């Protein structure tokens, strides 16, 4: 029954979007589920806008933008710093070795990739995989905020120093922050190590254990 209700409401949303394109104005606000309001902007609309973006210098060196992928109603969002080479080629987030590891972590948590949402602070690959610069992150941040406003996740997992420090507005490092929930508005944020860090230190079982401990805390909050 719940799935059928969601399907009906999603159909209603698409119909309202069509009417909006024709110039209609609305005085009602549909919902896709009881606790989640829907705007006329969908995650797919936003992803298309991100792919066309030319707002900062990263757009001049990228192959393609990488908006993110997953469920527009995900309870759980993973956020990295920016696309790498494989992501730049494929236009999808976390598809290289680090992405394969993230996929295994997601499965171990009881999810499939399409059930969560995966994205980055910046949507275009920084040259030579360098860290994104502050002005690049600031330029791209409104896209991320709009993604989160549409999805309204219960938990965000920040992967590594860059997204953790940017989202939490702190200079504290990931080693000190990981494993402890932080609050960002109504969303709980769990910082943890980036999968690429685990790949580079694949013989270090202690790092893997710590990440799994962090994910178990996330699972407990989400009832997994």
pLDDT tens for 7-65 read: 545 555 555 555 555 554 433 333 334 344 444 579 999 999 999 999 999 999 999 99
Q: Which burial class, exposed, middle or buried, applies to 128 when counting CB atoms under 10 A from its CB (0-12, 13-18, 19+)?
A: exposed
Under the banding of pLDDT at 50, 70 and 90, the label for residue 224 is: confident
The C-alpha atoms of residue 224 and residue 213 are separated, in whole angstroms, by: 14
User: Which strands make up the sheet holding 155-159, listed edge to edge?
Assistant: 69-70, 117-120, 76-80, 155-159, 187-192, 182-184
Instruction: Please report, rounded to a whole number, the percentage of residues in the chain having pLDDT higher than 90.
Output: 81
Residue 99 has, within 13 A of its CA and on its CB side, a CA count of 21
Residue 154 in this model has a pLDDT that exceeds 50: yes
Query: Domain spans of the chain?
Result: 41-221
Question: Which CATH code, of 3.40.470.10, 3.40.190.80, 3.40.50.620, 3.30.465.10, is assigned to 41-221?
Answer: 3.40.470.10
pLDDT number for residue 123: 98
Residue 1 in this model has a pLDDT that exceeds 70: no
Task: Classify 184 as helix, strand or coil.
Answer: strand
Average pLDDT over residues 60-88: 97
pLDDT number for residue 17: 55
Torsional class of 129: left (φ above 0), alpha (ψ -120 to 50), beta (otherwise): left
> Worst-scoring range by mean pLDDT, 14-23, 148-157, 196-205?
14-23
pLDDT number for residue 11: 55
Average pLDDT over residues 142-151: 96
The answer to whether the CB of 218 falls within 8 A of the CB of 155 is: yes
pLDDT number for residue 41: 74
pLDDT number for residue 36: 47
Task: Classify 183 as helix, strand or coil.
Answer: strand
**What tokens does 213 get?**
């401990």
Q: What does pTM read for this prediction?
A: 0.82
pLDDT number for residue 27: 33
The C-alpha atoms of residue 195 and residue 96 are separated, in whole angstroms, by: 10
């Amino acid at each position: 029954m719940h799935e059928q209700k969601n399907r009906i409401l999603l159909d209603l949303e698409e119909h309202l979007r069509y009417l909006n394109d024709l110039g209609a104005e609305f005085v009602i606000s549909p919902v896709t589920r009881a606790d989640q309001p829907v705007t006329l902007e969908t995650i797919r609309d936003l992803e298309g806008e991100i792919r066309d973006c030319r707002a900062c210098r990263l757009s001049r060196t990228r192959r393609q933008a990488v908006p993110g992928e997953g469920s527009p109603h995900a309870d759980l969002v993973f956020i990295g710093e920016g696309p790498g080479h494989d992501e730049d080629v494929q236009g999808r987030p976390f598809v290289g070795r680090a992405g394969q590891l993230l996929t295994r972590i997601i499965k171990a948590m009881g999810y499939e990739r399409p059930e969560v949402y995966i994205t980055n602070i910046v949507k275009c690959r920084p040259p030579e995989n360098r860290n994104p610069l502050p002005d690049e992150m600031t330029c791209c941040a409104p896209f991320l905020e709009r993604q989160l406003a549409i999805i309204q996740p219960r938990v965000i997992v920040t992967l590594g120093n860059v997204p953790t420090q940017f989202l939490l507005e702190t200079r504290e490092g990931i080693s000190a922050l990981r494993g402890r929930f932080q609050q960002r508005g109504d969303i709980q944020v769990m910082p943890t190590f980036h999968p690429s860090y685990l790949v580079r230190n694949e013989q270090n079982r202690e790092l893997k254990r710590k990440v799994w401990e962090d994910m178990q805390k996330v699972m407990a909050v989400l009832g997994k």
